[in-house]
Amino acid sequence: MDARPSAAEACDNAPADAPIIRVRGLVNRFGNQVVHEGLDLDVRRGEILGVVGGSGTGKSVLMRSLIGLRTPDAGEIEVLGVDPRSPDPADLLHIERNTGVLFQDGALFSSLSVGENVQVPLKEHHPDLPESLRYELALLKVKLAGLPADALDKLPAQLSGGMRKRAGLARALALDPPLLFLDEPTAGLDPIGAAAFDHLTRTLQQALGLTVFLITHDLDTLYTICDRVAVLADRKVVAVAPLAEIEQMDHPWIREYFHGPRGRAAHAASSGAEET
């Protein structure tokens, strides 16, 4: 008999302060192009971590490595206490059941209704659920994501860009995961829609006790809802800290990004919101 604890047991028995994601020495290459070289990162339980970096720094590559969609060339990764490259199907199943992913633009199945999209993870991981219960769960997730009930029967092509993102978020929440990955969730949204999505993200994070790994270029998102920010540059994470500390760091990309006109405007808007 194998005495090794299951993935779920290993996660449950982890110390309360243990990171929910741990990365050490990560290397990702595409041919001769090195995207990550010796990247280290810890994501704390219950935080919203904003991940930023210039074009080509591998933000989405990092996320794909964490959720098992890409096999890195070297390094150590632990997500929810297990390695996403593990050959043990139970480990991979543990990660799949306990993570939700919102890809850019929702990445919905175009031939399925919103309700059917949300039910895909339920059918895969809980095939014995009665159809009526799957429908009710899908409706609940759609409402949690801020969509009206009648969106359930619409096709993705019938939705606006913002509604597609919310539908993708509903699907990401289908299995009640403790860990959520969001890839550019406010990209392409107008300022009002982006602010509403930020508010929704923070509300869900607090209400459901989520940990959120959030890739973004949106300075308003970083200042409004992120507890810490990880900066990707020079093929690694050059800084990970609250924004107040990031702003003080003497790195060329950090200075240009956070102290340029848009960074100053986002900082001023955030300071004004805190005062009111």
- The span from the CA of 207 to the CA of 256, in Å, is 35
- The span from the CA of 70 to the CA of 28, in Å, is 9
Place of tokens 């243990």: 18
Segment 83-132, tens digit of pLDDT: 999 999 999 999 999 999 999 877 899 999 999 999 999 999 999 999 99
Residue 36 has pLDDT above 50, yes or no: yes
Nearest one of 194, 117, 104, 99 to 153, comparing CA atoms: 117
Residue 43 has pLDDT above 90, yes or no: yes
206: phi then psi, degrees, rounded to nearest 5: -75, -40
For 144-153, 156-165, 264-273, which range has the lowest pLDDT when averaged over its residues? 264-273
Task: Kindly list the structural domains of the chain, giving each domain's residue range(s) and its CATH number in brackets, ordered by start.
Answer: 20-80+181-276 (3.40.50.300), 108-177 (no CATH)
> Parallel, antiparallel, or unpaired for β 179-183 and 99-102?
parallel
For 71-75, 96-100, 212-216, 264-268, which range has the lowest pLDDT when averaged over its residues? 264-268
